[in-house]
Amino acid sequence: MAVEQCYELRRGERLLIEKCGDLTIPSKKQTEVKHVKEPLSDGHSSFWNTLRNWMDDAFKHDDYAALVLYSTQPIGARAKLANWNAQPANRLTLLEKIHAKQMADFQKRQTAASKRQASGSKKSAPAELSEVLELQQWILADERRPRLLKVIAKVWIEAQTDRMSDLYEKILETKIRGLTDSRKTNFIDALIGFVCRADSLDGNWEITCEQFDAKLRDLQATFGYASRVFPSLKRILDAGDLPAVQADEPFIRKIQEIQHTERIDVAIQQYQATVQTIREEFEHYRVEEDVLRDFEYGVIQRFEMGYAIACSDCEDEIKHSRRFYDRTMMEPPPSLSLFDDTPDWFRNGLLHTKMNDSKLLYKWKLDKNTET
């Protein structure tokens, strides 16, 4: 919750954090956070205790434009509090009705207990005023009415909010972009450690907008650089759902032309893994299209230059073509932006896809040098 609030800070603002769960943006908002499972009923202590805290003379409600009760619990199906946010003008009447109803229920229990006592029943213990009823009486006392009216005008109930695990996933998905899943987790864990630090002696601390922004830049520099890792070739092949390859694919025929058939099985695997990787990483916009385009340009330039040099030295078309093929497959590939490394199988598979492109007329068979 504190991390999410930090993302809402504007320049010059600061978030005050207490270990008890309260979050404060001075001059703007004070939030009490409650993690409760059962529904928020009209008589639930989480609401009345929070209202009591905001009614306390020591609490300077004039310093805030909004007072938020942030609770994981849903509002009860029949609770009058369900209308709280929608009817700000009727909030005092709503509180009075809730108190009147609960006081009437208490008086019925009290009367029933008195009758049992008069009849000699062993179950004759008198009904006692609950803590919530005592809170209601204190809050609704006539002498506190002016303060109450000012406070409830600012109160907003955020019920059935995200649980911690859900909020964690929400921040991962909506706030942290451009990192691999593992680095996203490292990023958010480091950010939580910064925001919810435990080094405050009195249990209270603050974070300014400028401090939070600086931390984000620091973490982005730490986890954002070269933040993508290629999946292993084995993992891609084991995952299945690979693109189909026909026996007469041009890239296969061009390997057969140089009588290098023992390389075909590996070539097919590299082709399939590359097409699958492009489909997953690039076509779904996890990696910008320009990144792949620049990489392809570098691969093609190297191939064309290497092919021209190999042709100039070619005396035996089959022997030297095989040698050119193997040398090309084993050369270090150019780097691919945003990735920690670029495996040679990806570059090789990309070349096989280019062999399938009839417009490019690429081939592995060298043209024999006829110059004397």
Per DSSP, the chain holds a count of helices (H) and strands (E) of: 14, 6
pLDDT at 23 over 80: no
Provide the pLDDT for residue 15. 80
Q: What three-state secondary structure class fits 278?
A: helix
Tell me the pLDDT of the chain averaged across its residues: 83
Residue 159's pLDDT band (boundaries 50, 70, 90)? confident
- Three-state secondary structure string covering 115-138: HHHHCCCCCCCCCCCCHHHHHHHH
Provide the pLDDT for residue 342. 85
Rounded distance, CA 370 to CA 372, Å?
Answer: 6
Rounded distance, CA 66 to CA 151, Å?
Answer: 9
Provide the pLDDT for residue 288. 62
Provide the pLDDT for residue 198. 45
CB under 8 Å to 323, separation ≥6 — which residues? Answer: 310
Rounded distance, CA 124 to CA 140, Å?
Answer: 30
Provide the pLDDT for residue 92. 95
Sign of CA dihedral 102, 104, 108, 110: positive
- Which of 27-41, 248-262, 339-353 is the least confident region? 27-41
Rounded distance, CA 283 to CA 279, Å?
Answer: 5
Provide the pLDDT for residue 118. 72
Provide the pLDDT for residue 347. 95
Amino acid at 221: A
Mean pLDDT over 347-362 rounds to 94
Provide the pLDDT for residue 19. 60
pLDDT at 372 over 50: no
Provide the pLDDT for residue 53. 92
Q: What is the tens place of the pLDDT at every residue in 171-192? A: 777 777 667 666 777 788 788 7
Query: Do 17 and 3 meet the contact criterion of CB atoms below 8 Å apart?
Result: no
Provide the pLDDT for residue 96. 95
Rounded distance, CA 308 to CA 263, Å?
Answer: 22
Rounded distance, CA 370 to CA 317, Å?
Answer: 11
Residue 285's pLDDT band (boundaries 50, 70, 90)? very low
Residue 100's pLDDT band (boundaries 50, 70, 90)? very high
Mean pLDDT over 83-99 rounds to 92
Mean pLDDT over 240-249 rounds to 89
Provide the pLDDT for residue 366. 95
Rounded distance, CA 43 to CA 106, Å?
Answer: 12
Domain ranges of the chain: 2-224, 233-355
Beta strands 23-25 and 155-158: pairing type? unpaired
- Write the Ramachandran bin of 7: left for phi over 0, alpha for psi from -120 to 50, otherwise beta: alpha
- Which of 138-152, 206-220, 224-238, 294-308 is the least confident region? 224-238
Provide the pLDDT for residue 163. 60
Provide the pLDDT for residue 364. 96
Residue 310's pLDDT band (boundaries 50, 70, 90)? very high
Residue 125's pLDDT band (boundaries 50, 70, 90)? low
Query: Do 67 and 30 meet the contact criterion of CB atoms below 8 Å apart?
Result: yes
Provide the pLDDT for residue 281. 67
Task: Please give the distance of CA 191 from its chain centroid, rounded to a whole number.
Answer: 12
Residue 278's pLDDT band (boundaries 50, 70, 90)? confident
